[in-house]
């Protein structure tokens, strides 16, 4: 059975540490993917508007599982988005505002929202991931569809905060790690693998025909779901143990190396 879908996480996976990728090489590989009718999907915790900026020439013809599965767009058309009720949104925000060291971004369909009282360094960093970011005085009265929260906090508080959020927000949101000092809160079941599942059903693609790449806690479900789940060499050990396969380091174009193997039907894609 041949590969019909390739899904890539971005930070620490498809992108190197400078937030770049080899565009010329990828363009050549993408042309071959199209010839072989292999779908290319970007599956990231980042905002949709940021993700499309990396693929300006082809954003209208590929698919995006953005905001960790909160919003799925294919060929420029909305396929799915999760949505918190106003009560759920307020419950989450009320608790997050009690965390003294956490900077909060409320992730909506139209914008990301963060407080203008946060320091300039955080806001500057946030704008690199949220091309649509609105600064607000508070989180009340926002008119948008919300499906995720992003938190930034000191690394040494990450594990304890994850544990407390799991307990306090059980049934409303699930905390997942998305990088150093970062936690994403996602709607239960609305993760990257769910977004891929929706696209697979749309296209009639089986899990055995899917290749996924990731390096973080928000990639776990899609690494497990795909027959060919690749953890990056730079991923934490627990992520490597979950994945069936391992790729090289994100700084060495490892995703593109594996895609070449897919296109040439080399091991392990030669069954």
Q: What value does the mean pLDDT take over residues 113-140?
A: 96
Q: In 55-185, which residue ranges form alpha helices assigned H by DSSP?
A: 86-96, 120-129, 158-168
- Is 97 in a helix, a strand, or coil? coil
Reported pTM: 0.94
For residue 1, the model assigns a pLDDT of 67
The pLDDT tens digits for 17-42 are: 999 999 999 999 999 999 999 999 99
Supply the DSSP symbol for 17.
T
Q: Give me the chain's average pLDDT, please.
A: 96
Residue positions counted in the chain: 271
Task: Give CA 133 to chain center in angstroms.
Answer: 18
Longest dimension (CA), the chain: 57
For residue 182, the model assigns a pLDDT of 87
Residue 165 pLDDT > 70: yes
Please check whether residue 178 is in contact with residue 45, taking contact to mean a CB–CB distance below 8 angstroms.
yes
Produce one character per residue of 5-39: b if its CB has 16 or more CB atoms within 10 Å, e if not.
Answer: bbbbbbbbbbbbeeeebeeeebeebbeebeeeebb
Please check whether residue 23 is in contact with residue 176, taking contact to mean a CB–CB distance below 8 angstroms.
no
Q: Which helix (H) or strand (E) holds 113?
A: strand 112-115
Q: What value does the mean pLDDT take over residues 176-182?
A: 77
32 Cβ contact partners less than 8 Å away, ≥ 6 residues apart: 263
Residue 180 pLDDT > 90: no
Percent of the chain with pLDDT over 70: 99
The pLDDT tens digits for 218-238 are: 999 999 999 999 999 999 999
Q: How confident is the model at residue 179 (pLDDT cuts 50, 70, 90)?
A: low
For residue 69, which of 44, 90, 86 has the smallest C-alpha distance?
Answer: 44
Measured CA angle at 171 (ends 170, 177), to 5 deg: 60
For 74, list phi and psi in degrees, rounded to 5.
-130, 125
- Encoded tokens for 25: 């090489």
Q: What value does the mean pLDDT take over residues 184-204?
A: 97
| Domains, the chain | 5-81+190-264 (3.40.50.1000), 86-186 (3.30.1240.10)
Among this protein's residues, is 215 annotated catalytic?
no
Residue 181 pLDDT > 90: no
Q: What value does the mean pLDDT take over residues 233-255?
A: 97
């Amino acid at each position: 059975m041949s590969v019909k879908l390739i899904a890539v996480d971005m930070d620490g996976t498809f992108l190197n540490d400078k937030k770049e990728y080899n565009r010329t090489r990828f363009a050549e590989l993408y042309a071959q993917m199209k010839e072989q009718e292999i779908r290319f999907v970007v599956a990231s915790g980042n905002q949709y508007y940021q993700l499309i900026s990396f693929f300006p020439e082809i954003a209208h013809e590929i698919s995006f599982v953005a905001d960790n599965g909160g919003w799925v767009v294919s060929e420029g058309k909305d396929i799915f988005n999760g949505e918190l009720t106003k009560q759920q949104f307020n419950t989450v925000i009320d608790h997050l505002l009690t965390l003294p060291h956490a900077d909060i971004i409320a992730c909506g369909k139209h914008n990301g929202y963060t407080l203008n009282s946060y320091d300039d360094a955080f806001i500057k960093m946030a704008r690199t991931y949220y091309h649509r970011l609105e600064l607000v005085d508070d989180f009340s009265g926002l008119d948008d569809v919300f499906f995720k929260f992003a938190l930034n906090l000191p690394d040494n508080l990450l594990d304890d905060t994850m544990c407390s959020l799991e307990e306090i927000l059980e049934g409303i949101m699930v905390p997942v790690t998305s990088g150093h000092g970062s936690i994403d809160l996602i709607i239960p079941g609305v993760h990257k693998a769910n977004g891929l599942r929706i696209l697979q059903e749309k296209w009639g693609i089986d899990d055995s025909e899917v290749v996924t790449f990731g390096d973080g806690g928000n990639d776990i479900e899609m690494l497990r779901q795909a027959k060919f789940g690749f953890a990056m060499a730079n991923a934490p050990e627990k992520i490597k143990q979950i994945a069936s396969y391992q790729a090289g380091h994100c700084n060495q174009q490892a995703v593109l190396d594996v895609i070449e193997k897919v296109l040439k039907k080399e091991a392990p894609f030669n069954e």
